[in-house]
């Protein structure tokens, strides 16, 4: 730790001081500087292009967070923007949905193997909460079980960060199982037999502040079986990884089939949209659950999503993300090893999570990210990163080169 607080750049300082006067915390939620490297990380963005962005003080970063996921093709993608602009000229927020609404639902139903219907919202939480309600409507049951440590958005049913604003009753019907532990799933289902409306999982475990863990052989298939044999709705929260691992949804990578799947981040390259798809069996229940919002039918994000999803397929973006992710993670592992440091890149290469092996307090990880940020690479210290289609080999190599210097400093300065 530095002896004195780092000096924020002028415009950042001014803007944040103004922000704290009129906004709780200055910047709240996952964007709060408190969640990255305060004093070093950029606080306010000015503009972005491809895989790079600039903050309000003109500092440039290679972006490995991709706006926490929504930017899958790269910032300011011209094709997506052109489609969105065209739709904007025609209109965006009407009394009614536009033709894009139907087209997008048709596209998703056509590209996701088990999908018979689709619904739309704005954020991941909208879809997950809707899916839970559909499951409760369909089963007439109350309980939801989910992975211990998983993040499923900000719905009341799922405890998030801290006790503020929650009451114990919010979570009375929520129970957790351990990832990759079939027995803990069976135990819960047995204990609450006939009461469980839904089991919700992510396609792989990506807890906050910890390594990602892929599913063990047969684990998700067993959950699918348990759901089938107990009349429980199997919900996949594919908000984070959806369309980054497979154009037809992440379940296809891991060979299982959920009943309902929720998407958001990569669907529209930054335009506000989320979606859920489901099997025909749940269509009637979905129609009965009233969920909506003032902007949930806006046409521009749906037009953007259609183009984004088509580009993902046309340009084989999944393969590109995988290749760039592998290049990055191998490069980082090799660079760290040069200085005797052992790092672990967990999760799929398209969404890598870097950690120092056996480090639980993040001291070295924060130091590493601090040095990288100071030199123009935005790595998050305790959230998985997101590769996007604009990352090219030269960008990855530039980042690895900067990371190399950062590892050297960490090895010299930060005790294990």
Partner 1 sequence: MDSPSKDNILCRLHLNAVLFALEDFVAVVPEAKQILGEENFSITFTTCSKLKSTVKFHDGKCDFIGAMDAPNAIKIHFLSERHLNCIFTQSGFTLPLLRSGFFRLKQLIVFKRLSTLLGKYLQPDAKTLEEKTFRSQHLKILLGLMLAAIKELSEYESFSRDLLKSTPDGLAFFTIQDDDISGWIQWKDDKVNYGKGDAPYPPDVRIVFEDSSIALAAFHNKIINMAEIGLGRLRIDGDTAFAERLGWMSERISLYLENGRS
Smallest separation, CB 275 to partner 1 (Å):
31
Smallest separation, CB 168 to partner 1 (Å):
9
Name, in order, each residue with C-beta under 8 angstroms of 180's C-beta and a sequence gap of 6 or more.
Answer: 205, 213, 215, 216, 219
Strands in 112-183 per DSSP E: 117-121, 143-147, 174-177
b/e per residue 208-241 (b: at least 16 CB within 10 A): eeebbbbbeeebbebbbebbeeeebbbbbbbbbb
Specify the 3-state DSSP secondary structure of 163.
coil
Our CB check for partner 1 shows the closer of 43 and 146 to be 43
Distance CA 364, CA 367 (A): 5
Smallest separation, CB 249 to partner 1 (Å):
31
CB 346 within 8 A of CB 353: yes
Distance CA 246, CA 154 (A): 26
**What are residue 229's phi and psi, to 5 degrees?**
-80, -10
Kindly state whether residue 140 participates in binding partner 1, applying the rule CB under 8 A. no
CB 215 within 8 A of CB 147: no
Residues 158-187 touching partner 1, rule: CB under 8 A, are 161-163
Q: Where are the alpha helices (DSSP H) in 23-98?
A: 78-90
Our CB check for partner 1 shows the closer of 32 and 342 to be 32
CB 342 within 8 A of CB 322: no
Kindly state whether residue 357 participates in binding partner 1, applying the rule CB under 8 A. no
Window of 94-102, 156-164, 170-178, 258-266 that interacts with partner 1 by CB under 8 A = 156-164
Window of 28-36, 52-60, 267-275, 316-324 that interacts with partner 1 by CB under 8 A = 28-36
Smallest separation, CB 176 to partner 1 (Å):
11
Q: Name the nearest CA neighbour of 317 among 254, 369, 244.
A: 244
Kindly state whether residue 30 participates in binding partner 1, applying the rule CB under 8 A. no
Our CB check for partner 1 shows the closer of 25 and 293 to be 25
Question: Given candidates 95, 229, 294, 361, which one binds partner 1 under the rule CB under 8 A?
Answer: 361
Kindly state whether residue 32 participates in binding partner 1, applying the rule CB under 8 A. yes
Size of the site for partner 1 (CB under 8 A): 29
Question: Given candidates 54, 362, 374, 398, which one binds partner 1 under the rule CB under 8 A?
Answer: 362
Distance CA 261, CA 414 (A): 43
Smallest separation, CB 178 to partner 1 (Å):
14
Distances (CA, A) of 224 to 115, 182, 221: 16, 11, 5
Kindly state whether residue 45 participates in binding partner 1, applying the rule CB under 8 A. no
**Site track 182-221 with partner 1 (rule: CB under 8 A), x = hit:** ---------------------------x------------
Q: Where are the alpha helices (DSSP H) in 315-362?
A: 317-338
Kindly state whether residue 10 participates in binding partner 1, applying the rule CB under 8 A. no
Our CB check for partner 1 shows the closer of 37 and 275 to be 37
Our CB check for partner 1 shows the closer of 25 and 194 to be 25
Kindly state whether residue 27 participates in binding partner 1, applying the rule CB under 8 A. yes
Kindly state whether residue 56 participates in binding partner 1, applying the rule CB under 8 A. no
Our CB check for partner 1 shows the closer of 166 and 287 to be 166
Q: Where are the alpha helices (DSSP H) in 340-392?
A: 363-374
Token readout for 359 is 């480090």
Kindly state whether residue 410 participates in binding partner 1, applying the rule CB under 8 A. no
Our CB check for partner 1 shows the closer of 382 and 408 to be 382
Smallest separation, CB 288 to partner 1 (Å):
36
Kindly state whether residue 43 participates in binding partner 1, applying the rule CB under 8 A. yes
Phi-psi region of 243 (alpha: psi -120 to 50; beta: other; left: phi over 0): left
| Three-state secondary structure string covering 202-249 | CCCECCCCCCCECCCCCHHHHHHHHHHHHCCEEEEECCCCCCCCCCCC
Question: Given candidates 14, 17, 85, 281, which one binds partner 1 under the rule CB under 8 A?
Answer: 17
Q: Name the nearest CA neighbour of 90 among 302, 241, 293, 268.
A: 302
Distance CA 405, CA 327 (A): 18
Question: Given candidates 10, 14, 18, 28, which one binds partner 1 under the rule CB under 8 A?
Answer: 28
Our CB check for partner 1 shows the closer of 37 and 276 to be 37
Contact residues for partner 1, defined by CB under 8 A: 1, 5-6, 8, 16-17, 20, 24-28, 32-34, 38-39, 43, 161-163, 209, 360-363, 366, 382, 415
């Amino acid at each position: 730790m530095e002896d004195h607080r780092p000096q924020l750049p002028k415009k950042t300082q001014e803007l944040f001081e103004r922000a704290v006067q009129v906004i709780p915390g200055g910047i709240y939620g996952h964007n709060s500087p408190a969640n990255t490297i305060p004093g070093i990380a950029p606080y306010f963005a000015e503009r972005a292009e491809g895989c790079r962005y600039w903050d309000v003080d003109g500092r440039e970063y290679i972006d490995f967070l991709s706006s926490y996921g929504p930017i899958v093709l790269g910032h300011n993608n011209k094709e997506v923007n052109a489609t969105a602009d065209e739709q904007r000229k025609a209109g965006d927020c009407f009394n009614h949905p536009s033709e894009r609404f139907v087209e997008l639902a048709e596209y998703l139903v056509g590209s996701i193997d088990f999908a018979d219907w689709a619904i739309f919202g704005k954020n991941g939480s909208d879809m997950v909460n809707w899916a839970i309600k559909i499951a409760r409507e369909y089963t007439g049951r109350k309980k939801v079980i989910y992975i211990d440590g998983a993040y499923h958005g900000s719905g009341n049913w799922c405890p998030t960060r801290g006790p503020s604003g929650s009451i114990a009753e919010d979570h009375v019907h929520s129970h957790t199982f351990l990832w990759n532990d079939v027995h803990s799933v069976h135990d819960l289902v047995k204990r609450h037999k006939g009461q469980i409306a839904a089991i919700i999982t992510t396609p792989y475990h990506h807890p906050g502040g910890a390594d990602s863990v892929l599913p063990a052989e047969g684990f998700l298939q067993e959950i699918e079986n348990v759901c089938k044999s107990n009349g429980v709705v199997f919900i996949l929260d594919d908000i984070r990884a959806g369309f980054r691992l497979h154009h037809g949804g992440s379940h296809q990578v891991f060979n299982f089939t959920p009943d309902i799947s929720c998407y958001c981040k990569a669907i529209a390259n930054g335009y506000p949209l989320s979606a859920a798809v489901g099997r025909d069996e749940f269509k009637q229940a979905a129609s009965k659950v009233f969920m909506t919002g003032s902007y949930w039918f806006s046409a521009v994000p749906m037009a953007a999503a259609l183009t984004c999803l088509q580009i993902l397929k046309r340009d084989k973006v999944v393969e590109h993300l995988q290749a760039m992710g592998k290049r990055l993670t191998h490069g980082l592992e090799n660079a760290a090893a040069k200085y005797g440091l052992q790092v672990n890149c967990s999760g799929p290469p398209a969404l890598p999570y870097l950690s120092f092996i056996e480090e639980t307090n993040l001291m070295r990880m924060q130091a590493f990210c601090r040095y990288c940020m100071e030199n123009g690479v935005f790595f998050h210290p305790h959230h998985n990163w997101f590769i996007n289609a604009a990352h090219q080999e030269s960008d990855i190599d530039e980042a690895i080169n900067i990371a190399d210097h950062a590892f050297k400093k960490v090895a010299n300065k930060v005790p294990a």
